[in-house]
Structure 1
Amino acid sequence: MSSGPTLIDLKTERNRRIPNPDQIIIAGAGIAGLTLALALSDKGFSVQIFEKSATLAEIGAGLQLSPNATRLLDRLGVLERLKYASVEPQAICLQDGRSGANLLHLPIGETARQRWGAPYIVCHRADLQNALLNEARNRPNIAMQLQSTVTQYKSDAEGILVRVQYHDRIEEHRGALLAGADGVWSDMRTALSDTDRARYTGTIAWRSSVAVDQLPPAFAALMPPGTNVVAWTGANAHLIAYPIRSGQVINFVAVAPDRNIRRRWDDQRTNNASQDFIRAFAAWNQGICDLMRAGRPWTPWRLFAMKKCQFKIEERVVLIGDAAHAMTPYAAQGAAMAIEDACLLAAALATDGKKWTTALDQFSKARSKRVGAVVRRGALNQLAYHARGPIALARNVVFRNRPADKFVEGFDWLYGFDPEKRG
């Protein structure tokens, strides 16, 4: 049986009831939940967030935010708060992991602003969450309660009734809609179906960060001049590096297969297999091998993904972010998709907020199509990054000879997308 939220039996005893039939209730205060709260606030909705953690501390390290995300953060007043903690890279570069040879150089700095109307930035995940949180705290129509878990819900003619476990008491809250933004292990999603869980991909993203002045010399020599996002490709693995924390630290993500997939992990952030991981890159360029040793400890993060998107649960219950479509990182769009979800949902509700079924049906259809396209792009990127043998040789020829502007043009559908203008 699922331990997540269930339908409320309205005959059971209740400890406390707080009516507010017009508010939107959000389960989860991560990137998706906080962005949704801000987007709804801008549309004039009252918002109540319930977050089961005692403190808001984002797990992870760096993330990339492409123009389709930053234009929305700018409208919400968040991008300005990120200005001093983020970096705007000049280019996206691709290199061969063994030889270190340059394969591709895509200008992204001013190009992003001119072509897509918003910047491409990289930052620490915690800096984004702090920027969202600080902006939310300035909104009088956003309330947040920590150490509170949505345990039950029930739709009725008046809206939705949500039961929340808070310390040693239970509260009941009325709202117009319940949005699940509670991440890849969403209680709300698994309550609907125990079989609809995120699946393990058999691949691990190993994370580390190194101060710029502590980079091994051989590795520093591989880095193209300037501030860039750099990816090194190899057989079944790749490494990505980019600056965070105002450019003082380089964030690294190395993606490789789980060499002991039967291993039991007490905590996916606990590093018990770094030696196996480092050996996977033993034949790579010496600079990268030096980096692997300098970057210890490397923190493993197992990659999970959903087989299909799942947004609308019922008439007044919806999922967004990883709860709806956990995806692998090959397109660098996980955070961006959550931000798009939030803003499009708020726009749909503001346009047709009294016709909940219609609004959520349209939202679900639009987002399923969009996210599906991004997942397919990620799968293609994985094939390109992890190619080996003749396929890798053919890839290198294409990357070296195709004009850069053709590659840039291929991002128009992704980076130029504006969910608030497409409905």
Structure 2
Amino acid sequence: MSELPYLAIVGGGIAGPALALSLKKHHGISSIVYELQPKYDVRGVNITLAPNALRVLQHVGVYDTVRPQGYRYENIHMSNARSQALGTLRQGSPKHYNFSSLRIHRAIVQKALLDELKVQGIPVVFGKKLVQLHEEKEFVELEFADGTTARASFAIGADGVHSRVRDAIMETKTSYSGFMGIIGMGVKRESLHKSASQVPLPNFVFGSRGFVAIMPSSYEGDMVDFFSTMPYPARSREEWNELANDKTKIQEILQQRYGNEWPHFICDMTKDYDKEGLSLLPFFEVPPLERWTSIKRRVILIGDSAHAFTPQGGQGAAMGLEDAETLSHTLSHPDFKSDYVRLLTAWERHRIERLRLVKDFTDLNGRLRTPDTAVIQWLKELLIWGRFKWTGELGNLQWLHGYNAEDIVRFF
């Protein structure tokens, strides 16, 4: 067992590299990362990293690299379509959480992690498509589409919502959540209509037609994103790809929802933004899993492979990063080799319970963003206003943003 590579990680996005770095830097444990793409993947969109995500990036040594490449902020302001303030959430706070939040492109985070893997001498093999996985008593064998195979003591599935590793160890079926997102990036802040000055940014705007977020995304805050999540009928994967490539249709969807009866700067963006820059993202979900490990416990799932759900709480990447660091402390436990079944079970139970709480939070956000009648919308806005009057600016979310992955050791 000791002659094999200790860990094979399938997936070179964010969670997989973070796991490899945490294992190497804090515990001296070796691993190898296999990535489907033939090279570093520059695709993706801007994402939000809350303090619980940034804490992990600091621990693995890339926070100082990514911090100057995104927009740091503490408060998310909320308003309605009439530009009336509903409340303010302190999502990031050096005082309360040691970090502000960060708006940054996903590819920048991935590149920082991959670059650090190279610095640490952790191998990454690109262009490796997993086709089969065999779990034996003391090792896992991986078969790739190019005909090559590899063995390791343990294998980690960090290969996303449509995980091949997950498919190899259990029968599951991902499903469309009923929501999709549309995002436009790279808008010059100075180009926004003067009505934008009436609301502080970042700002989440709620109305009877749905939800629009306006968020600075550059270090100086002079560039902004706008994005909206909305219910939309299900389609086949081919039909989703066709719609994602139909930029005229995407712009029409935006204009139909937000082309009038909204703040002028939002109406302008739906009409004037270069449609070729629009991205459409259908949200797929992994059904709640009873376990994140194989029966023999030598194959382990993390990130979207284990728990993909709609990213309406700004916690998608964060949950994968938390999985990675908590798992690294589990794998490095002095008794892991002889007692890995018990330790992985404890890790799994802890993470499943936390993800249940996070999904409840995300589902609530989704309901608040869903279009409704004028009366229901008024009640939702009253609920948002009342919540922050009652809970204060931290929104009773210390459990979420203040999470420390190293605390996993208490559950062993």
What TM-score, normalized by structure 1, do the two folds share? 0.86
| 1:276 aligns to 2:253 (yes or no) | yes
SS at match of 1:366: helix
**Of 303, 326, 333, the match for 2:308:** 326
SS at match of 1:313: coil
CA contact (8 A) 2:254 2:270 kept: no
Deviation at 1:204, TM superposition (A): 1.4
CA contact (8 A) 1:21 1:175 kept: yes
SS at match of 1:40: helix
**Of 112, 116, 121, the match for 2:102:** 121
Alignment match, 1:301: 281
Q: List aligned pairs for 1:190-205, cutoff 5 A.
A: 190-193=167-170, 196-205=172-181
**Of 51, 55, 60, the match for 1:67:** 51
Q: 1:88 to 1:219 in 2, by over 3 A?
A: same
Indicate the larger mover: 76-85 or 262-271: 262-271
Alignment match, 1:238: 211
Alignment match, 1:249: 223
User: Aligned equivalents of 1:31 and 1:267: distance in 2?
Assistant: 27
What do the CA deviations read for 1:228-271 (whole angstroms, capped 9, x no partner)? 43111123621112122323421222112226757923356423
Indicate the larger mover: 400-409 or 347-356: 400-409
**Counterpart amino acid of 1:392?**
Q
User: Aligned equivalents of 2:243 and 2:155: distance in 1?
Assistant: 29
Q: 1:177 to 1:219 in 2, by over 3 A?
A: farther
CA contact (8 A) 1:231 1:239 kept: yes
Indicate the larger mover: 237-246 or 276-285: 276-285
Q: 1:202 to 1:131 in 2, by over 3 A?
A: same
What's the RMSD between the two structures over aligned residues? 2.3
Q: List aligned pairs for 1:22-33, cutoff 5 A.
A: 22-33=5-16
CA contact (8 A) 1:271 1:300 kept: no
User: Aligned equivalents of 1:260 and 1:383: distance in 2?
Assistant: 18
Deviation at 1:61, TM superposition (A): 1.2
SS at match of 1:348: helix
| 1:87 aligns to 2:60 (yes or no) | no
User: Aligned equivalents of 2:115 and 2:223: distance in 1?
Assistant: 23
| 1:153 aligns to 2:133 (yes or no) | yes
Q: 1:34 to 1:149 in 2, by over 3 A?
A: same
SS at match of 2:269: helix
| 1:416 aligns to 2:398 (yes or no) | no
Deviation at 1:214, TM superposition (A): 5.5
**Counterpart amino acid of 2:262?**
W
Deviation at 1:118, TM superposition (A): 2.7
User: Aligned equivalents of 1:157 and 1:131: distance in 2?
Assistant: 36
Deviation at 1:379, TM superposition (A): 0.9
Alignment match, 2:330: 348
| 1:46 aligns to 2:22 (yes or no) | no
Q: 1:164 to 1:219 in 2, by over 3 A?
A: farther
User: Aligned equivalents of 1:88 and 1:48: distance in 2?
Assistant: 32
**Counterpart amino acid of 2:67?**
K
CA contact (8 A) 2:4 2:152 kept: yes
CA contact (8 A) 1:105 1:404 kept: no
| 1:397 aligns to 2:372 (yes or no) | no
- Count of residues in correspondence between the two structures: 394
| 1:171 aligns to 2:152 (yes or no) | no
Q: 1:333 to 1:256 in 2, by over 3 A?
A: same
**Counterpart amino acid of 1:49?**
V
SS at match of 2:123: strand
Unaligned runs of 5+ in 1: 1-18
User: Aligned equivalents of 1:20 and 1:252: distance in 2?
Assistant: 51
User: Aligned equivalents of 1:52 and 1:108: distance in 2?
Assistant: 34
User: Aligned equivalents of 1:152 and 1:340: distance in 2?
Assistant: 27
Alignment match, 1:136: 117
Indicate the larger mover: 74-83 or 243-252: 243-252
| 1:266 aligns to 2:233 (yes or no) | no
Unaligned runs of 5+ in 2: none
CA contact (8 A) 1:65 1:122 kept: yes
| 1:56 aligns to 2:40 (yes or no) | yes
